Structure formats: structure tokens, C-alpha cells
């Protein structure tokens, strides 16, 4: 037998000397590169106090932000409705980017069409694109509904979705009774969480039909929550309560479909008839606040039923969730849930001493930032920096209030509208022991040496994390697992060649 | 023997596209052709608008200009000018590798954006852009230049990014390059490549900007149109160096502003991705009288053929060196790789749908491993690309331009290939169908695939995909 040939890919190949020599030669002779000394000096400067001041003086340039644009969130709300085709009215590149972004996070297909507006549409408007687009969508993919949002181009030229859809129906491109929801989602206003809110508002207001009858049932909306496990977890919890409910937008079908040899574009989600009937539920429970603000306002005003918001993370958050369900439905909290709470507390009791006294810096979307911050403090962890790009004044006031409730929050600094380059300066000059953040925070880990606990969106560089729940007691167990075991991995790495490299921890 | 029967395939295609609305049907009919080996003309229409509502796989001009041409140049700051999304979705997603210290002398995996707000749409963004470029230059003093890459709103609101760029360039003494690559321009990424090439022409060569001075020699070459996905350009560079050639510039993978300027200083410009950079090579030939040559570094057959073709441009010393390295190093290595993987891949059938080059360039690498190509097509090719594809056709092949997801679904269902090579948006639905998949834009987080080492990785990965055990477990045993 001949010896098997060893194949090196990019992970090790370019460490070979023949390549490193080549790189050095290129740098020296052709790149007009700065000297090694200049680079080292500049690097040190970028990690210092002087640079931090300069960095925080920046008013216009945004570097490595923690937000995406509105239509992305709109598509996410739409993909949770059964048999519904998300539709982007604008340039086709937008749809390609949204789909790629979601595919990279969920490792799932993400169908969405664009009506491919080009120069001529800039001059004449995008109505013809929409007529042909709706015609094709209806004929080819046979959806039960189309959920339309806009991207920059159609917003800047001022296309009127209401009119276009009406005309498309009058021209017979789609049947007059074909359900359509449409939301204006300009990318230059707010972020993806506002796009989610705008599409959710369109779904409930344009499809929902209030009859006056009040049904013994609640609505639940999770918000821009990209942990698919949460949709199954809330259904399980509501099942234990024995509650009748409508989960408005449930992407756990379309974004976690089985591989069985047959691709299906539409796999399930909130049924159209349920969406229609949602206004007739007796109450609505929202599990995010900042991605549902307009929707909440509409429901309170137009539906006139109680709308309750909870932030369902950690001990207090999960307690709030269970009590809210009990309050809105009049049901007792089931023994099984009480046992789950007990197990969650048990797990925290076993492990919190690895977290207590360590310091954490966080980045996330507003609702997650609040939940994670409070949970870390419940474990005894100190909060150093909480930094968002898409935070608001309300959010800032709320999180400051929560930080003030815990001794672990007394030294925390809060930034509602900064980016990850600001974060780099903060962590370099005033480091915490750990960072909690999304995939892009790995660049902070590289630049500051602070280990990263991956929680958030997007998560491109790890598999499966989005499949787990993060809400409720059982979701809390996953958060605890990621936090505590990353700390333990790090402890092992640090102690590997010392006597503290313990087998039992 | 070809798996595809021309007449049957044509009937099948007709049955699929008749389901479109009328105008779309008429349009799509001209974008698909079943071709035979030896055929001289390809009639496929290309570089036309995608029909609304079909789920095209295409992106936009911004994606072509930022993601492909400007994005990989490591020592300049590429500002995505407009709302936050475009820059965010294209952030670090193309795997254009580079050596350097990110945030200090290199900026490839950073997202710089002007994060346009409503007030900027209303009042214009020029004043803000001016300040923003100053801030960037101040915070990153080792940058060698900046580019302004326009997103859709910029062109619609009538900002004058050229004037701002000129002004700031003068002020900071560095090139500032405005690139009007708004996503609504043109029909695909392709116009973005062209626009980006034109900005290189107008703002670098036409201004006679210079790179680092170097000692010139008879074997100086430049390598362009390689974006260093997973290290591609590095393994390509190795081959050229082994041939005795001297690479004075590469673009735009792991490239620098200096190298970009120095491309015109080479004796020969070697171009890998013809589609995205042929514009600049034609221009350089015209202005500087430097010839250019297309080559293909995918798989043994084409690597060796290309090496000889390149060597022909030089003297006997290079030719001899080339033959020596082929005979002593490359051929024996290729033989080993082929003998390991060909028995595992012989007779397998693949479909490809990629960007503007790989749908044809990778075909011979598959053939070297005994894999048949049933279908291939491009997101954003032009007529000359389809013509060039015929050279590589070994069996009856379906050629599709701008394939919609609807067509893709039908082709996969009908022909059930052993492998489909396409992009991230296509990956997961293909796998749901039980068909092995490799991303052929990003090399599916692997690579390099170019060059000698790259072929080994390519062969390993295709075997890993096609023969992955999981694909034998799709059906539950209790389901017949």
C-alpha cells in the first residue's frame, strides 16, 4: 500500500516557509507597505486612551456596526407565516443579500423574491416591475400570500405599495381576493428590528379581521428572535399551561425544515386563518419590546385587548413570562414548569461561582441586551460595557434602571448608538474578562485577547446554536451552559501547563 | 456517452418555462440552450435584465464593485456610501484572504459605512461624506487611499461624490476614488465590475499614479482577476514563481494600492477572471502596450496547458524551467491526487451554476477527476463567456444563463445530479433534496482551489461532498 497523500488546505498550507518567504518578499518589494515598526507603533496607538478619545469624537464614519437594515427584519417576520412568499420591491441585489445573510446564519434556504428594479424604474417608477413580479410569483410558486417590503430604491423614488397592489389586482395579475401584506421599510430609518415591527404591523393590521367576538385564546409574538428553538419552547410552555394560542410569525417550520430528499419552499408557520382571527384573541403577549413597538401601539388602540410585554430571559425574565401567561389566561402555573424552575435554579447553584465576580461586556439587539445583562447579574457577573448600535433613549433608560437594581451593575457603562470600533477602544482601555456577542465580536476577541461567548445574531461561524431555546427556564439552561462552559474552556486553556489544570471543576 | 439527451432535454426545458407568464417565457427561452461537444456557436442570450418575481440568483452592481473588485484591496478603506445594509451583508463574506494587521495597515475585513439616515436622503450626503473621509484618514493613518462605493440612494438623490473625492484627495494627499456602483445600475454584478474597472482606469492610470518603485526585469508579470478566495492567488503565484517569473503586482486579492498601480509596469498581464477584469487589461494593452493573456489554474490539464501558454510569451529559460517543474514536481503530484480520487469520482455527474468564470473554468478540473458536467451556467456572463464555454464542453451539456430558482429546482428534480456546485442561497435547498452540494463562490469555507495545492483540496472536497455518508441516510429505513 502506498502511503496516503497528505492534503493541506488554507488552515495550515500557508504556514509553510515557502509561502511565508513569498509573503515577505511581496511585502518588501511591491506593497509599499509600512515598516514593521510603524505597524507595531500604530497598533499600540489604536489600543490606547488617546485613540479612544479620537475614536469617540467621530461623528459620521460608522465602523463595524451592530445592525442591519429594515427589509431584513421584514423578511424575517414574513417567513414565519405559512405559505407566504416574502417579496422585496426594489433592486434585486437587496434580496440576494438578505437571503445570503439568513442562509449563513440558519444554514437553511430562505426563499424571497425581488422585482429587480433597474434604471428605467428609477425614472418611471417600479409599478411595472411589481405587476410582472406578482404575476410570476403567483404562477410559479403558488403561495397562499405575498408579504411585500421595500428597499432603498423604491423608497427614495416614493413608490406607493398600496396603489401598486390595488392595480395589480385590478389588472388580474393576482386574484382580487389574494391575501397581500405590504410594509414600507426604508433602510435609511432605524434597523432590522424596525423592519420586523413594520412588517408585523402590516400583517396584523392588513390581514387581521376584528369581528367583535372575543375568543378564549392569547396571541404571542416573539419579535426579531433568531433562536429557532424559542418558537418551539414557547409552544411547549403554552402546551404545559393548556392554553389556546396563536403564535404570530413562527419561522420554526421554514427555517428548520427536515432533509428528506424533497425540498419544499413552504413548510408551515402561522396559518393565514389564524392571522386573520388574531384580533379576536383576548390578549397578546410580546416577548420583545423594541422590535414590536408600533405593533403594540396598534394592537392596544385598535384591538383594545390587554397587551403585555415581558423580557423572558434568565430567572426574573422567565418568572415574568410564566406569571404573564397565568395572568392573561387565568391558568395556574403548572407543576412541571415549577420543576423546570427548580432545575434551572439547581444548575445555577452548581455553577454560578465560576461566573461570580468575573466581568462581562455585551453587544446585542436591544431586547437581548436587556435579558442577557440581567441574567449575567443574576449569576453574579459584573457588567462592564453594554454597547448597541440600534439602541434608543427608551432602551438606554430601561437598561440603566435594571443595572441600578444590582450591585453587579454599578460600574457599567451603557452606549446606545456606538459601533464595534468604539467597542474595541473600550475593551482595549478598560477590559472585561469576557465578551458576549455575535460572530463579528470575534474580531474584538482577536484585537483584545478577551474570550467571546457567542450569543446573538448573526452567528455565522458556529453550527446549531440557533436551534436551541434561550427563553424560559429551559432556554436559560442553554445560556448558562454557553456562559459557564466557555469560562471553563478558557480556564483550561489558561491553566494547561500549571498545577491548576484540574480534572474536576 | 452523455447523460443528457439533447431532444429530451429541450422538451423538458420547454415544459418548465411554459409555466412563466408570457413575456417571461419568451425571454427565458433565449437564455437556455443544449449544446454538443464540438459545437461552434453558443446562441444563449445573456447580460439581460432578470424578470421580476422569479427568484434570480443574481446580485447587483454594488456587489460586483465592492464585493469583487474594490473590496479585496487590503490597504485602502472602502466606504460603503449609503444606508447600513449593503456594507453589512457583504462584510467579510467573500473570504478574500490577505496578510496584514487589520485596522492598522489592512482593512479588508472591516465594514466602513456612512450609515445614511433620512436627513441625508433629504439634504444630501456630500457634506457628511467630506467629514467622514477625514475621520477615516485620521483614525487609520497607514491607509494608502480610500474609495467611495455608492449604494442605490446616492445616484437617486444626485450627490456629487466625485467633487468630494477630488477635494479630500487633494487635502490628504492620497487617492480617493468615487465609484458609482449603485445597485440599480445594470442587470447584475457584472456592470459593477465594469464600473469598478473604469474607476481604476480613470482615477489611477489616467492620473498616472505610481506604486512602489522596483527593479525591472524581463520576467515581470502581473496577475489580475484573482480574488484570493481561501488563498487562491497565493497558490497561483507559487506556480508562476516556480516557472521563473517575477510577480510584480497582483489584483485584487491580497492586493495593495501600489500593486494596482504597478500592474501596468509588467511585461505581461495574466488574467484569471476574464469577466470581472478584462476591461482593465484591454485598456492597459492600449495605453501601455502591455499584452494580456487569459489562463486557467483549475485542475492538472488546464494548469499545465496554461503554464505552457504563459511560458510561450517568454524565452527558452522560462520554457525549460516550466517543463522541468511540470515533469519533476507537478505531474507526479497530480498523478498521485488523480489516482487517489478518480476511482471514487469516475462517472459521477455534476451541475454548476456560478458567477462569470468558474462555470467554465472548473469544468476541466471535474473532467480530470472523471466527473461529467450535465449543466453549467452563469449568473452574470456575457456572450463572449458563453462562446468561451464551448471550448470546455466534453459531453452534451445544458447551458443556462441567469437560472431562476424555479428552473434550478426543476433541473435538480429531473436530473438528480451527484453534485451541484453553486452559491450559499442555493446550498441548503439542494441538500434538502438529498443532493450533495459545494459552494463554488466561497469554496464552502475551504480552499484554495487554484493551483497545484488547490487541486488537491478541490479533489478532496468534491469527494467529501459526493461520497459523504450522510447522503446515504436521507430516507428513513422504514420508508420504502
Structural domains in chain A (count): 3
A330 is a domain residue: yes
Domain final position from A179, A207, A235: A207
The answer on A397 and A433 residing in a single domain is yes
User: Quick one: A462 and A406 in the same domain?
Assistant: yes
Residue B111 is placed in which grid cell? 465594514
For residues A138 and A123, give the distance between their C-alpha atoms in angstroms, rounded to a whole number. 27
Q: Are residues A348 and A474 in the same domain?
A: yes
Taking the C-alpha atoms of residue A175 and residue A186, their distance in angstroms, rounded to an integer, is 28
Interface of B with A in 302-331 (CB under 8 A): none
Are A184 and A156 in the same domain?
yes
Q: Assess whether A179 and A81 both reside in one domain.
A: yes
Catalytic residue among A137, A156, A214, A355: A156
Looking at residue B57, its pLDDT comes to: 97
Say whether both A265 and A167 belong to one domain: no
**pLDDT above 80 for A119:** yes
State the Cα–Cα distance between residues A467 and A475, nearest whole angstrom.
11
Is residue A19 a part of any domain in this protein?
no
Per the CB < 8 Å rule, is B54 touching A152? no
* Interface probe, candidates A22, A47, A140, chain B, greatest B C-beta count within 10 A: A140
Q: How distant is the Cα of A430 from the closest Cα of chain B, in angstroms?
A: 19
Q: Are residues A374 and A456 in the same domain?
A: yes
Find the residue in B nearest to A134 (Cα): B53
Domain-ending residue, one of A207, A241, A263: A207
Q: Are residues A316 and A447 in the same domain?
A: no
What residue has cell string 470600533? Answer: A421
Q: Any CB–CB contact under 8 A between A442 and chain B?
A: no
Q: For residue A483, how far is the Cα from the chain centroid? A: 18
Beta strands in B275-343 (DSSP E): 292-294
Q: Which residues of chain B are within 8 Å of residue A263 when distances are taken between CB atoms?
A: 409, 429-430, 432-433
Query: Which residues of B are known to be catalytic?
Result: 60, 63, 94, 193
- State the Cα torsion B405-B152-A131-A294 to the nearest 10°: 100
| Domain span including residue A122 | 70-207
In a domain, A24, yes or no: no
Distance between CA atoms of residues A385 and A407, nearest Å: 15
* Partner residue opposite B60 with nearest CB, options A9, A92, A263: A92
Set out the domains of chain B in order of their start, with CATH numbers: 6-55+346-445 (3.40.50.1980), 62-186 (3.40.50.1980), 220-328 (3.40.50.1980)
Residue A399 lies in a domain: yes
Residue A1 has pLDDT above 70, yes or no: no
Q: What is the pLDDT of residues A226-282, one digit of tens each?
A: 999 999 999 999 999 999 999 999 999 999 999 999 999 999 999 999 999 999 999
User: Could B152 and A141 be called an inter-chain contact, meaning their C-beta atoms sit closer than 8 Å?
Assistant: no
Does A130 map to a domain? yes
Residues A241 and A191 in one domain: no
**Cα A141 to the center of its chain, rounded Å:** 28
- Whether A37 is in a domain gets the answer no
Is B259 near chain A, with CB under 8 Å? yes
Question: What cell does A192 get?
Answer: 432590522
- What is the residue whose three cell numbers read 439568513? A102
Residues of A whose CB is below 8 A from B337: 5
**∠ at Cα A344 (A342, A348), nearest 5°?**
115
The domain boundary, picked from A270, A300, A334, lies at: A334
Residues 350-409 on A with a CB inside 8 Å of B are none
Q: Are residues A280 and A330 in the same domain?
A: yes
Is the C-alpha dihedral spanning A448, A454, A458, A462 positive or negative?
positive
**pLDDT value at residue A13:** 98
* Residue at A144 is within a domain: yes
pLDDT of residue A211: 97
Which residues of chain A are within 8 Å of residue B213 when distances are taken between CB atoms?
Answer: none
Beta partners for residue A62, in sequence order: B113
Cell of B188: 447584475
Nearest CA to A198 among A101, A77, A104?
A77
How far is B170 from B74, CA to CA, in rounded Å? Answer: 22
Give residue-wise pLDDT tens across range B412-460: 999 999 999 999 999 999 999 999 999 999 999 999 999 999 999 999 9
pLDDT of residue A2: 52
CATH of the domain at A477: 3.40.50.1980
Q: B375 in helix, strand or coil?
A: strand
Angle at B375 between CA B373 and CA B377, to 5 degrees: 120
Considering only CB atoms, B52 lies closest to which of A31, A71, A132, namely: A132
Query: Three cell numbers at A333?
Result: 402555573
Whether pLDDT at A3 is above 90: no
* Residues B353 and B422: beta-carbon distance below 8 Å: yes
Is A252 found in the same domain as A151? no
SS3 B382: coil
Please tell me the predicted confidence (pLDDT) of residue A4.
82
Cell 460586483: give the residue. B64
| Residue pairs between chains A and B whose CB atoms are closer than 8 Å | 329
The whole-angstrom separation of Cα A200 and Cα A193 is 10
What stretches of B84-207 show up as alpha helix (H) in DSSP?
A: 84-89, 118-123, 126-139, 152-157, 161-172, 189-200
Q: Note whether A297 and A349 are same-domain residues.
A: no
Render A360-400 in DSSP notation, one character per residue: EEE---HHHHHHHHHHHHHTTPEEEEEE-SS--HHHHHHHH
Query: Is B214 close to A156, i.e. CB distance below 8 A?
Result: no
Residues of chain B with pLDDT under 50: none
8 Å CB contact of B62 and A93: yes
Which of A55, A136, A260 minimises the CB distance to B51?
A136
Interface of B with A in 150-179 (CB under 8 A): 151-153, 155-157
Question: Which among A30, A34, A100 has CB closest to B93?
Answer: A100
**What pLDDT, on a 0 to 100 scale, did the predictor assign at position A345?**
98
Q: A117 lies in a domain?
A: yes
Shortest alpha-carbon distance between residue B53 and chain A (Å): 4
Taking CA–CA distances from B247, the nearest residue in chain A reads A26
Cβ within 8 Å, pair A139-B54: no
Phi, psi of B316 (to 5 degrees): -60, -30
Amino acid at each position: 500500500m502506498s502511503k496516503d497523500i497528505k492534503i493541506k488546505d488554507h488552515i495550515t498550507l500557508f504556514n509553510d516557509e515557502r509561502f511565508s518567504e513569498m509573503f515577505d518578499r511581496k511585502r518588501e518589494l511591491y506593497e509599499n507597505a509600512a515598516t514593521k515598526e510603524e505597524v507595531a507603533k500604530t497598533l499600540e496607538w489604536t489600543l490606547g486612551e488617546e485613540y479612544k478619545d479620537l475614536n469617540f469624537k467621530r461623528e459620521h464614519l460608522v465602523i463595524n456596526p451592530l445592525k442591519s437594515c429594515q427589509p431584513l427584519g421584514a423578511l424575517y417576520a414574513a417567513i414565519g407565516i405559512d405559505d407566504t412568499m416574502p417579496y422585496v420591491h426594489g433592486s434585486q441585489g437587496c434580496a440576494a443579500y438578505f437571503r445570503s445573510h439568513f442562509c449563513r446564519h440558519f444554514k437553511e434556504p430562505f426563499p424571497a423574491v425581488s422585482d429587480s428594479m433597474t434604471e428605467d424604474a428609477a425614472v418611471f417608477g417600479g409599478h411595472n416591475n411589481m405587476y410582472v413580479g406578482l404575476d410570476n410569483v403567483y404562477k410559479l410558486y403558488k403561495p397562499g400570500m405575498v408579504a411585500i417590503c421595500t428597499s432603498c430604491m423604491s423608497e427614495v423614488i416614493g413608490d406607493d405599495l398600496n396603489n401598486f397592489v390595488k392595480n395589480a389586482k385590478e389588472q388580474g395579475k393576482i386574484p382580487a381576493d389574494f391575501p397581500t401584506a405590504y410594509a414600507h421599510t426604508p433602510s435609511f430609518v432605524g434597523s432590522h428590528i424596525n423592519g420586523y415591527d413594520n412588517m408585523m404591523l402590516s400583517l396584523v393590521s392588513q390581514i387581521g379581521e376584528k369581528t367583535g367576538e372575543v375568543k378564549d385564546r392569547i396571541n404571542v409574538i416573539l419579535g426579531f428572535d433568531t433562536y429557532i428553538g424559542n418558537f418551539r419552547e414557547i409552544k411547549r410552555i403554552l402546551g404545559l399551561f393548556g392554553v389556546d394560542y396563536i403564535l404570530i410569525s413562527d419561522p420554526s417550520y421554514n427555517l428548520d425544515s427536515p432533509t428528506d430528499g424533497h425540498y419544499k419552499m413552504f413548510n408551515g408557520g402561522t396559518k393565514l386563518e389564524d392571522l386573520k382571527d388574531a384580533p379576536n384573541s383576548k390578549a397578546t403577549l410580546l416577548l420583545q419590546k423594541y422590535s414590536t413597538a408600533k405593533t403594540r401601539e396598534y394592537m392596544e388602540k385598535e384591538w383594545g385587548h390587554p397587551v403585555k410585554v415581558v423580557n423572558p430571559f434568565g430567572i426574573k425574565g422567565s418568572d415574568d413570562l410564566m406569571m404573564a401567561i397565568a395572568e392573561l389566561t387565568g391558568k395556574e402555573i403548572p407543576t412541571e414548569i415549577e420543576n423546570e424552575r427548580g432545575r434551572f435554579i439547581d444548575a445555577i447553584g452548581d455553577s454560578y461561582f465560576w461566573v461570580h465576580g468575573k466581568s462581562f461586556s455585551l453587544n446585542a439587539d436591544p431586547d437581548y441586551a436587556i435579558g442577557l445583562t440581567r441574567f449575567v447579574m443574576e449569576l453574579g457577573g459584573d457588567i462592564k460595557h453594554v454597547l448597541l448600535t440600534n439602541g434608543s433613549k427608551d432602551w438606554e433608560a430601561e437598561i440603566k434602571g435594571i443595572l441600578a437594581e444590582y450591585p453587579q451593575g454599578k460600574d457599567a457603562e451603557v452606549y446606545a448608538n456606538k459601533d464595534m470600533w468604539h467597542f474595541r477602544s473600550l475593551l482595549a482601555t478598560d477590559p472585561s474578562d469576557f465578551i458576549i456577542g455575535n460572530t463579528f465580536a470575534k474580531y474584538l476577541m482577536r484585537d483584545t485577547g478577551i474570550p467571546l461567548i457567542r450569543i446573538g445574531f448573526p452567528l455565522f461561524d458556529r453550527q446549531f446554536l440557533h436551534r436551541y431555546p434561550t427563553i424560559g427556564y429551559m432556554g436559560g439552561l442553554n445560556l448558562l451552559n454557553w456562559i459557564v462552559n466557555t469560562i471553563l474552556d478558557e480556564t483550561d486553556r489558561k491553566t494547561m501547563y500549571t498545577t491548576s489544570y484540574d480534572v474536576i471543576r | 456517452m452523455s447523460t443528457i439527451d439533447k431532444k429530451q432535454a429541450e422538451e423538458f426545458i420547454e415544459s418548465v418555462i411554459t409555466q412563466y407568464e408570457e413575456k417571461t417565457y419568451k425571454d427565458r427561452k433565449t437564455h437556455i440552450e443544449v449544446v454538443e461537444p464540438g459545437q461552434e456557436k453558443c446562441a444563449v442570450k445573456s447580460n439581460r435584465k432578470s424578470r421580476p418575481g422569479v427568484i434570480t440568483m443574481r446580485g447587483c452592481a454594488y456587489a460586483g464593485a465592492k464585493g469583487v473588485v474594490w473590496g479585496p484591496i487590503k490597504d485602502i478603506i472602502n466606504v460603503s456610501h449609503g444606508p447600513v445594509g449593503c456594507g453589512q451583508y457583504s462584510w467579510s463574506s467573500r473570504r478574500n484572504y490577505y496578510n496584514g494587521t487589520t485596522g492598522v495597515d489592512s482593512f479588508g475585513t472591516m465594514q466602513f459605512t456612512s450609515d445614511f439616515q433620512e436627513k441625508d436622503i433629504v439634504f444630501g450626503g456630500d457634506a457628511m461624506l467630506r467629514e467622514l473621509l477625514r475621520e477615516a484618514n485620521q483614525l487609520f493613518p497607514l491607509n494608502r487611499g480610500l474609495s467611495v462605493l455608492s449604494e442605490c440612494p446616492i445616484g437617486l438623490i444626485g450627490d456629487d461624490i466625485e467633487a468630494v473625492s477630488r477635494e479630500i484627495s487633494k487635502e490628504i494627499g492620497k487617492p480617493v476614488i468615487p465609484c458609482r456602483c449603485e445597485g440599480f445600475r445594470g442587470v447584475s454584478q457584472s456592470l459593477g465590475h465594469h464600473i469598478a474597472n473604469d474607476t481604476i482606469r480613470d482615477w489611477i492610470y489616467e492620473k498616472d499614479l505610481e506604486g512602489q518603485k522596483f527593479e525591472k526585469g524581463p520576467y515581470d508579470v502581473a496577475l489580475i482577476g484573482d480574488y484570493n478566495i481561501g488563498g487562491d492567488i497565493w497558490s497561483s503565484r507559487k506556480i508562476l514563481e516556480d516557472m521563473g517569473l517575477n510577480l510584480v503586482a497582483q489584483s485584487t486579492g491580497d492586493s495593495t494600492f501600489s500593486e494596482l498601480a504597478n500592474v501596468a509596469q509588467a511585461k505581461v498581464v495574466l488574467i484569471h477572471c476574464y469577466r470581472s477584469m478584462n476591461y482593465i487589461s484591454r485598456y492597459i494593452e492600449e495605453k501601455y502596450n502591455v499584452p494580456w493573456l487569459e489562463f486557467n489554474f483549475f485542475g492538472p490539464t488546464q494548469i499545465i496547458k496554461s503554464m505552457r501558454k504563459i511560458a510561450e510569451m517568454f524565452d527558452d529559460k522560462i520554457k525549460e524551467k516550466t517543463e522541468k517543474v511540470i515533469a519533476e514536481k507537478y505531474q507526479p503530484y497530480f498523478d498521485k491526487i488523480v489516482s487517489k480520487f478518480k476511482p471514487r469520482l469516475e462517472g459521477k455527474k455534476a451541475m454548476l451554476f456560478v458567477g462569470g468564470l468558474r462555470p467554465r473554468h472548473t469544468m476541466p478540473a471535474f473532467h480530470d477527476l472523471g466527473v461529467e458536467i450535465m449543466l453549467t451556467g452563469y449568473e452574470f456572463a456575457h456572450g463572449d463567456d458563453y462562446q468561451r464555454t464551448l471550448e470546455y464542453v466534453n459531453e452534451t451539456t445544458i447551458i443556462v444563463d441567469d437560472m431562476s430558482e424555479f428552473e434550478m429546482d426543476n433541473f435538480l428534480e429531473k436530473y438528480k445530479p451527484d453534485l451541484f456546485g453553486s452559491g450559499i442561497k442555493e446550498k441548503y435547498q439542494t441538500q434538502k433534496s438529498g443532493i450533495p452540494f459545494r459552494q463554488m463562490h466561497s469554496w464552502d469555507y475551504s480552499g484554495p482551489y487554484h493551483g497545484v495545492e488547490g487541486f488537491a483540496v478541490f479533489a478532496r472536497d468534491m469527494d467529501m461532498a459526493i461520497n459523504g455518508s450522510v447522503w446515504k441516510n436521507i430516507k428513513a429505513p422504514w420508508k420504502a
